Chains A and B, each alone.
Chain A
Amino acid sequence: MSTSIDKSTFLRGRLRGDGDIVFAGRIEGDITISGELTIEASGLVGASVNATTVIARGAVRGDITATDSITLENGARVVGNVRAPRITIEEGALVRGHVETGHAGSATKSSARTAVASAASAAPARAAMPVRAAAPAPVVHAAPAAKAAPKPVQVPVPVPVMVPAKKAAAKVVGRAPAPVVPVLKKGAKAKRR
Protein backbone atom coordinates (compact mmCIF):
# COMPACT_ATOMS: atom_id res chain seq x y z
CA MET A 1 0.00 0.00 0.00
CA SER A 2 1.15 3.48 -0.71
CA THR A 3 1.95 6.21 1.73
CA SER A 4 -0.66 8.48 3.20
CA ILE A 5 -0.10 11.32 5.58
CA ASP A 6 -3.30 12.21 7.37
CA LYS A 7 -4.70 15.59 8.23
CA SER A 8 -3.46 15.59 11.84
CA THR A 9 0.14 14.81 10.95
CA PHE A 10 2.82 17.43 11.07
CA LEU A 11 6.25 16.73 9.71
CA ARG A 12 9.26 18.89 10.24
CA GLY A 13 11.91 17.51 7.96
CA ARG A 14 12.35 15.85 4.64
CA LEU A 15 10.27 13.21 2.94
CA ARG A 16 11.76 11.24 0.09
CA GLY A 17 11.78 7.88 -1.63
CA ASP A 18 9.91 5.80 -4.17
CA GLY A 19 6.17 5.36 -4.14
CA ASP A 20 2.91 7.23 -4.29
CA ILE A 21 1.93 9.59 -1.52
CA VAL A 22 -1.39 11.03 -0.54
CA PHE A 23 -0.57 14.03 1.59
CA ALA A 24 -3.22 15.68 3.74
CA GLY A 25 -1.06 16.90 6.60
CA ARG A 26 1.46 19.62 7.07
CA ILE A 27 5.15 19.53 6.27
CA GLU A 28 7.90 22.03 6.69
CA GLY A 29 10.52 20.50 4.49
CA ASP A 30 11.07 19.19 1.00
CA ILE A 31 9.22 16.31 -0.57
CA THR A 32 11.24 14.41 -3.16
CA ILE A 33 9.75 11.20 -4.48
CA SER A 34 9.52 9.21 -7.65
CA GLY A 35 5.85 8.51 -7.89
CA GLU A 36 2.56 10.30 -7.70
CA LEU A 37 2.14 12.92 -5.03
CA THR A 38 -1.39 14.03 -4.20
CA ILE A 39 -1.67 17.07 -1.97
CA GLU A 40 -5.15 17.05 -0.51
CA ALA A 41 -7.21 20.13 0.29
CA SER A 42 -6.04 20.04 3.90
CA GLY A 43 -2.44 19.50 2.86
CA LEU A 44 0.09 22.24 3.42
CA VAL A 45 3.60 21.98 2.08
CA GLY A 46 6.03 24.65 3.23
CA ALA A 47 8.90 23.85 0.91
CA SER A 48 9.65 22.58 -2.55
CA VAL A 49 8.09 19.51 -4.07
CA ASN A 50 9.65 17.12 -6.56
CA ALA A 51 7.79 14.12 -7.91
CA THR A 52 6.97 12.25 -11.08
CA THR A 53 3.38 13.44 -10.99
CA VAL A 54 1.89 16.06 -8.71
CA ILE A 55 -1.81 16.55 -8.12
CA ALA A 56 -2.51 19.44 -5.80
CA ARG A 57 -5.71 20.74 -4.28
CA GLY A 58 -4.01 22.03 -1.16
CA ALA A 59 -1.44 24.69 -0.39
CA VAL A 60 2.18 24.75 -1.43
CA ARG A 61 4.60 27.48 -0.53
CA GLY A 62 7.58 26.52 -2.62
CA ASP A 63 8.50 25.32 -6.06
CA ILE A 64 6.75 22.35 -7.62
CA THR A 65 8.71 20.29 -10.12
CA ALA A 66 7.46 17.15 -11.79
CA THR A 67 9.13 14.95 -14.36
CA ASP A 68 5.79 14.00 -15.87
CA SER A 69 2.89 16.28 -15.05
CA ILE A 70 1.39 18.70 -12.57
CA THR A 71 -2.31 19.19 -12.02
CA LEU A 72 -3.46 22.09 -9.89
CA GLU A 73 -7.07 21.45 -9.04
CA ASN A 74 -9.76 23.63 -7.62
CA GLY A 75 -8.64 24.74 -4.17
CA ALA A 76 -4.93 24.57 -4.88
CA ARG A 77 -2.93 27.53 -3.66
CA VAL A 78 0.61 27.68 -4.90
CA VAL A 79 3.15 30.37 -4.15
CA GLY A 80 6.23 29.34 -6.07
CA ASN A 81 7.40 28.25 -9.45
CA VAL A 82 5.68 25.40 -11.22
CA ARG A 83 7.57 23.34 -13.74
CA ALA A 84 6.76 20.12 -15.59
CA PRO A 85 6.45 18.80 -19.14
CA ARG A 86 2.68 19.00 -18.79
CA ILE A 87 0.81 21.31 -16.47
CA THR A 88 -2.90 21.61 -15.88
CA ILE A 89 -4.33 24.50 -13.91
CA GLU A 90 -7.99 24.05 -13.29
CA GLU A 91 -10.48 26.73 -12.52
CA GLY A 92 -10.32 27.75 -8.88
CA ALA A 93 -6.62 27.04 -8.50
CA LEU A 94 -4.50 29.96 -7.39
CA VAL A 95 -0.92 30.34 -8.52
CA ARG A 96 1.60 33.02 -7.85
CA GLY A 97 4.88 32.26 -9.51
CA HIS A 98 6.58 31.31 -12.71
CA VAL A 99 5.03 28.51 -14.71
CA GLU A 100 7.01 26.54 -17.24
CA THR A 101 5.86 23.61 -19.35
CA GLY A 102 7.56 21.29 -21.76
CA HIS A 103 10.87 19.51 -22.01
CA ALA A 104 11.96 21.48 -25.02
CA GLY A 105 11.52 24.86 -23.45
CA SER A 106 13.50 24.04 -20.37
CA ALA A 107 16.14 22.12 -22.29
CA THR A 108 16.76 24.74 -24.94
CA LYS A 109 16.60 27.50 -22.45
CA SER A 110 19.23 26.04 -20.20
CA SER A 111 21.42 24.89 -23.06
CA ALA A 112 21.05 28.25 -24.76
CA ARG A 113 22.05 29.90 -21.56
CA THR A 114 25.17 27.80 -21.28
CA ALA A 115 25.86 28.25 -24.97
CA VAL A 116 25.68 31.98 -24.63
CA ALA A 117 27.83 31.81 -21.58
CA SER A 118 30.45 29.69 -23.29
CA ALA A 119 30.32 31.86 -26.41
CA ALA A 120 30.72 34.94 -24.32
CA SER A 121 33.67 33.49 -22.51
CA ALA A 122 35.19 32.09 -25.70
CA ALA A 123 34.74 35.21 -27.79
CA PRO A 124 36.88 37.55 -25.73
CA ALA A 125 39.57 34.93 -25.56
CA ARG A 126 39.60 34.60 -29.32
CA ALA A 127 39.38 38.31 -29.79
CA ALA A 128 42.21 38.79 -27.41
CA MET A 129 44.48 36.43 -29.27
CA PRO A 130 44.87 38.43 -32.47
CA VAL A 131 45.26 41.57 -30.49
CA ARG A 132 48.10 40.07 -28.58
CA ALA A 133 49.58 38.67 -31.75
CA ALA A 134 49.28 42.02 -33.41
CA ALA A 135 50.66 43.93 -30.50
CA PRO A 136 54.19 42.61 -30.77
CA ALA A 137 54.20 43.21 -34.50
CA PRO A 138 54.29 47.00 -34.42
CA VAL A 139 56.34 46.82 -31.32
CA VAL A 140 59.25 48.66 -32.82
CA HIS A 141 57.38 51.84 -33.47
CA ALA A 142 54.45 51.47 -31.10
CA ALA A 143 55.64 51.66 -27.57
CA PRO A 144 52.27 52.76 -26.18
CA ALA A 145 50.63 49.59 -27.48
CA ALA A 146 53.23 47.58 -25.69
CA LYS A 147 52.45 49.43 -22.54
CA ALA A 148 48.76 48.92 -23.00
CA ALA A 149 49.22 45.16 -23.19
CA PRO A 150 52.18 44.45 -20.99
CA LYS A 151 51.57 40.76 -20.43
CA PRO A 152 51.65 39.44 -23.97
CA VAL A 153 54.42 41.77 -24.92
CA GLN A 154 56.76 40.59 -22.26
CA VAL A 155 56.79 37.09 -23.61
CA PRO A 156 57.30 37.59 -27.34
CA VAL A 157 59.21 40.83 -27.29
CA PRO A 158 62.59 39.89 -25.81
CA VAL A 159 63.36 37.55 -28.64
CA PRO A 160 62.06 39.38 -31.71
CA VAL A 161 62.96 42.90 -30.74
CA MET A 162 66.34 42.96 -32.37
CA VAL A 163 66.44 40.42 -35.14
CA PRO A 164 62.98 39.72 -36.51
CA ALA A 165 61.79 43.25 -36.72
CA LYS A 166 61.28 42.50 -40.39
CA LYS A 167 59.24 39.49 -39.55
CA ALA A 168 57.03 41.63 -37.45
CA ALA A 169 56.74 44.05 -40.29
CA ALA A 170 55.72 41.19 -42.55
CA LYS A 171 52.84 40.55 -40.28
CA VAL A 172 51.81 44.11 -40.55
CA VAL A 173 51.96 43.76 -44.32
CA GLY A 174 49.60 40.89 -44.18
CA ARG A 175 47.07 42.81 -42.15
CA ALA A 176 47.39 46.44 -43.10
CA PRO A 177 46.63 47.58 -46.64
CA ALA A 178 49.09 50.48 -46.53
CA PRO A 179 52.32 49.13 -45.08
CA VAL A 180 54.89 51.58 -43.95
CA VAL A 181 57.79 49.24 -44.55
CA PRO A 182 57.00 46.84 -47.38
CA VAL A 183 60.16 44.89 -46.94
CA LEU A 184 58.87 41.40 -47.53
CA LYS A 185 56.06 39.83 -49.47
CA LYS A 186 53.68 37.28 -48.18
CA GLY A 187 55.44 34.46 -49.96
CA ALA A 188 58.71 35.37 -48.43
CA LYS A 189 57.18 35.27 -45.04
CA ALA A 190 55.79 31.83 -45.68
CA LYS A 191 59.17 30.62 -46.81
CA ARG A 192 60.91 31.97 -43.84
CA ARG A 193 58.51 30.18 -41.61
Chain B
Amino acid sequence: MAGTIIGEGITIEGELSSDEDVVVRGHVRGKLIAKEGVVVEAGATVEADVSGGTMTVAGSITGNVNSTDRVDLQSGAKLVGNVKAARITIADGAQFKGSVDMDV
Protein backbone atom coordinates (compact mmCIF):
# COMPACT_ATOMS: atom_id res chain seq x y z
CA MET B 1 0.00 0.00 0.00
CA ALA B 2 1.46 3.23 -1.09
CA GLY B 3 1.40 6.40 0.86
CA THR B 4 2.07 7.51 4.35
CA ILE B 5 -0.05 6.44 7.28
CA ILE B 6 0.25 8.07 10.66
CA GLY B 7 -1.14 5.42 12.94
CA GLU B 8 -3.12 5.75 16.10
CA GLY B 9 -0.97 6.64 19.07
CA ILE B 10 1.68 8.29 16.92
CA THR B 11 2.43 11.97 17.19
CA ILE B 12 4.36 13.97 14.64
CA GLU B 13 5.63 17.38 15.60
CA GLY B 14 7.07 19.29 12.71
CA GLU B 15 6.66 19.56 9.01
CA LEU B 16 5.52 16.56 7.07
CA SER B 17 5.63 16.60 3.30
CA SER B 18 4.77 13.78 0.96
CA ASP B 19 4.28 13.20 -2.75
CA GLU B 20 1.70 10.55 -2.09
CA ASP B 21 -1.45 10.03 -0.08
CA VAL B 22 -1.30 10.78 3.60
CA VAL B 23 -3.67 9.13 6.05
CA VAL B 24 -3.75 10.49 9.57
CA ARG B 25 -5.10 8.36 12.39
CA GLY B 26 -2.87 9.82 15.06
CA HIS B 27 -1.73 13.35 15.74
CA VAL B 28 0.08 15.86 13.60
CA ARG B 29 1.23 19.20 14.93
CA GLY B 30 3.03 21.62 12.67
CA LYS B 31 2.53 21.50 8.94
CA LEU B 32 1.23 18.90 6.55
CA ILE B 33 1.94 19.13 2.84
CA ALA B 34 0.81 16.42 0.46
CA LYS B 35 0.74 16.32 -3.31
CA GLU B 36 -2.04 13.78 -3.35
CA GLY B 37 -4.96 13.11 -1.07
CA VAL B 38 -5.13 13.68 2.63
CA VAL B 39 -7.42 11.65 4.85
CA VAL B 40 -7.95 12.67 8.45
CA GLU B 41 -9.78 9.81 10.04
CA ALA B 42 -12.17 9.89 12.96
CA GLY B 43 -10.23 10.23 16.19
CA ALA B 44 -7.28 11.87 14.52
CA THR B 45 -6.23 15.40 15.41
CA VAL B 46 -4.32 17.71 13.15
CA GLU B 47 -3.11 21.01 14.54
CA ALA B 48 -1.48 22.22 11.40
CA ASP B 49 -1.94 23.98 8.13
CA VAL B 50 -2.79 21.32 5.61
CA SER B 51 -2.33 21.45 1.89
CA GLY B 52 -2.84 18.75 -0.69
CA GLY B 53 -5.23 17.30 -3.24
CA THR B 54 -8.47 15.67 -2.27
CA MET B 55 -9.09 16.01 1.45
CA THR B 56 -11.40 13.79 3.39
CA VAL B 57 -11.92 14.81 6.96
CA ALA B 58 -13.68 12.82 9.64
CA GLY B 59 -11.43 13.86 12.50
CA SER B 60 -10.35 17.20 13.83
CA ILE B 61 -8.30 19.86 12.09
CA THR B 62 -7.20 23.14 13.60
CA GLY B 63 -5.52 25.15 10.91
CA ASN B 64 -5.97 26.36 7.40
CA VAL B 65 -6.77 23.87 4.68
CA ASN B 66 -5.64 24.42 1.13
CA SER B 67 -6.69 21.94 -1.50
CA THR B 68 -6.04 21.81 -5.23
CA ASP B 69 -9.12 19.66 -5.64
CA ARG B 70 -11.83 19.21 -3.05
CA VAL B 71 -12.50 19.12 0.66
CA ASP B 72 -15.09 16.77 2.15
CA LEU B 73 -16.07 17.33 5.75
CA GLN B 74 -17.79 14.18 6.88
CA SER B 75 -20.18 13.75 9.74
CA GLY B 76 -18.27 14.02 12.98
CA ALA B 77 -15.53 16.13 11.46
CA LYS B 78 -14.38 19.27 13.19
CA LEU B 79 -12.57 21.98 11.31
CA VAL B 80 -11.46 25.29 12.71
CA GLY B 81 -9.70 27.29 10.05
CA ASN B 82 -10.08 28.68 6.61
CA VAL B 83 -10.62 26.49 3.58
CA LYS B 84 -9.41 27.21 0.09
CA ALA B 85 -10.55 24.64 -2.43
CA ALA B 86 -12.25 24.24 -5.78
CA ARG B 87 -15.08 22.29 -4.21
CA ILE B 88 -16.22 21.69 -0.69
CA THR B 89 -18.87 19.54 0.90
CA ILE B 90 -19.97 19.73 4.50
CA ALA B 91 -21.94 16.76 5.70
CA ASP B 92 -24.68 16.95 8.29
CA GLY B 93 -23.06 16.68 11.71
CA ALA B 94 -19.76 18.22 10.69
CA GLN B 95 -18.51 21.20 12.66
CA PHE B 96 -16.87 23.99 10.78
CA LYS B 97 -15.73 27.41 11.81
CA GLY B 98 -13.86 29.50 9.31
CA SER B 99 -14.13 31.04 5.91
CA VAL B 100 -14.36 29.37 2.55
CA ASP B 101 -12.59 30.49 -0.59
CA MET B 102 -13.74 28.66 -3.69
CA ASP B 103 -12.18 30.74 -6.44
CA VAL B 104 -15.54 32.04 -7.60
Q: How many residues of A contact B (CB 8 A)?
A: 23
Does B16 contact A9, Cβ atoms closer than 8 Å?
A: yes
B interface: dominant SS: strand
Does A17 contact B16, Cβ atoms closer than 8 Å?
A: no
Does B14 contact A17, Cβ atoms closer than 8 Å?
A: no
Chain B residue at minimal CB-CB distance from A18: B9
Taking CB atoms, residues of chain B closer than 8 Å to A2 are 5, 7
Residue A79 is within 8 A (CB to CB) of chain B in the complex: no
Question: A3's contact among B7, B15, B20, B30, by CB below 8 Å, is which?
Answer: B7
- Nearest-neighbour CB distance to chain B for A30, whole angstroms, equals 10
- Nearest-neighbour CB distance to chain B for A37, whole angstroms, equals 11
Bound-complex Cα distance A76 to B10 (A): 24
**Which residues of B pack against A, CB within 8 Å?**
1-20, 22, 25-27, 30, 35
6 A–B pairs (Cβ distance < 8 Å), ordered by A: A3-B5, A4-B4, A6-B3, A11-B16, A11-B17, A13-B14
